[in-house]
Amino acid sequence: MRKPVIAGNWKLFKSIGEAVALVNELKPLVSGAQGVEIVVAPVFTSLSRVSDAAKDSRIKIAAQDCYWEEEGAFTGEVSPKLLKDAGCSYVIIGHSERRQFFGETDATVNKKINAVIAAGLTAIVCVGESLAERESAQTFSVIETQIQGGLTGLAKEALSHIIIAYEPVWAIGTGKTASEGQAQEVHSFIRQLIARIFDQSVAGAVRILYGGSVKPDNVKGLMSQPDIDGALVGGASLKAESFSAIVCFNN
227 binds ligand 13P (CB under 6 A): no
Burial classification of residue 59, based on how many CB atoms lie within 10 Å of its CB (0-12 exposed, 13-18 middle, 19 or more buried): buried
234 binds ligand 13P (CB under 6 A): yes
173 binds ligand 13P (CB under 6 A): yes
Stretch that binds ligand 13P, among 104-112, 144-152, 200-208, 211-219 (CB under 6 A): 211-219
Long-range Cβ contacts of 48-54 (<8 Å, 24+ apart): 48/86, 48/87, 49/16, 49/19, 49/20, 50/19, 50/20, 50/23, 50/87, 51/86, 51/87, 51/88, 52/87, 53/20, 53/23, 53/24, 54/23, 54/27, 54/87
The minimum distance between CB 122 and ligand 13P, in angstroms, equals 16
Interacting positions 7-66 with ligand 13P (CB under 6 A): 9
95 is catalytic: yes
Please identify which residue in 4, 42, 211, 230 interacts with ligand 13P, judged by CB under 6 A: 211
Rounded CA separation 94/75 (Å): 20
Please identify which residue in 172, 190, 223, 246 interacts with ligand 13P, judged by CB under 6 A: 172
222 binds ligand 13P (CB under 6 A): no
Considering the candidates 97, 129, 133, 167, report the single residue annotated as catalytic: 167
70 is catalytic: no
Interacting positions 85-124 with ligand 13P (CB under 6 A): 95
Considering the candidates 95, 97, 104, 129, report the single residue annotated as catalytic: 95
Q: Any bridge partners for residue 90, and if so which?
A: 62, 122
